[in-house]
Amino acid sequence: MASTHSFADLLRTRTAALHDQAERSGVVHDILVGRVNRGSYALFLHNLLPAYRALEAGLQQHHARAGALGVGALHHAGLLRAAAIERDLAALSCDGPRDLPVLPEGERYARRVEAAAAGDGVGLIAHAYTRYLGDLAGGRVLGRRVGAALGLPPAALSFYTFPGIDDVPAFARAYRSTIDALGDRLGAPESVIEEAAVAFALNIALSEAVAAG
């Protein structure tokens, strides 16, 4: 009997415990409970940046090859976060690599995303699910918490806004449907589901490294 669960459901089920762990770990937990400091937050953003650059470059590359077919369907200009992170770092007076290090955990995360983009790029589905659907939902909660904790102006919170998307909840639902459609075309979805678990583990490791730094 065919499963009644969508591909995104399968991704969510596999990563549910890791999602809970991520919220209880490292700098993400510090943000959620309102005890993050400006330096740790800037370091966190700086170390997410390489992974976002790799994700966006990979999706743009696949989109250029096949348009809305395949993994390229997950590319959307309104989702691009790297430039938003750069603006936030500038507003935080932390001008990129001159002030902040890329931690080994940040480097490892970015290299994993780059590897996922190779070949047909199906591994990028897992990373788009982990990052972009998270940004569209829980990430906006993080934005409110960090803004309140650090007293940041809107210019330092670009990461959490999506001016190119008119209706964020509706867009998130449509994006999830795109992930479902891609999953339906996968011959062996297990590798992508496991890649999502790896993505969460890499995020947790980075969050903990930032908090310990």
pLDDT digits (tens, 9 = 90+) for 11-57: 999 999 999 999 999 999 999 999 999 999 999 999 999 999 999 99
CA distance 111 to 138: 25
pLDDT computed for residue 3 by the predictor: 54
94 confidence band (pLDDT: 50, 70, 90): low
What is the dotted CATH code of the domain comprising 17-212? 1.20.910.10
pLDDT computed for residue 68 by the predictor: 61
Q: Output the pTM of the full model.
A: 0.93
Percent of the chain exceeding pLDDT 90 equals 86
At residue 4, does pLDDT exceed 70?
no
At residue 187, does pLDDT exceed 90?
no
pLDDT digits (tens, 9 = 90+) for 156-180: 999 999 999 999 999 999 999 999 9
**What are the angstrom distances between the C-alpha of 90 and each of 16, 94, 96, 156?**
34, 6, 8, 8
Q: What is the DSSP letter of 79?
A: G
Q: What is the DSSP letter of 94?
A: -
CA distance 203 to 48: 9
Mean pLDDT of 133-155: 91
pLDDT computed for residue 2 by the predictor: 46
Planar angle of CA 8, 76, 137, nearest 5 degrees: 50
Residue corresponding to tokens 């998270």: 134
Q: Where in the chain are the domains?
A: 17-212
Percent of the chain exceeding pLDDT 70 equals 94
pLDDT computed for residue 41 by the predictor: 96
At residue 122, does pLDDT exceed 90?
yes
Q: What's the chain's average pLDDT?
A: 92
pLDDT computed for residue 69 by the predictor: 65
- For the stretch 191-194, contacts whose Cβ atoms lie closer than 8 Å and that sit 24 or more positions apart, written own/partner, are 191/122, 191/123, 192/11, 192/122, 192/123, 192/125, 192/126, 193/10, 193/11, 193/14, 193/126, 194/14
pLDDT computed for residue 1 by the predictor: 34
The answer to whether 124 and 112 have CB atoms below 8 angstroms apart is no
Copy the structure tokens of residue 158. 């670009």
pLDDT computed for residue 152 by the predictor: 94
Type of residue numbered 6: S
At residue 213, does pLDDT exceed 50?
yes
At residue 97, does pLDDT exceed 70?
no
Copy the structure tokens of residue 106. 């940040």
CA distance 70 to 64: 11
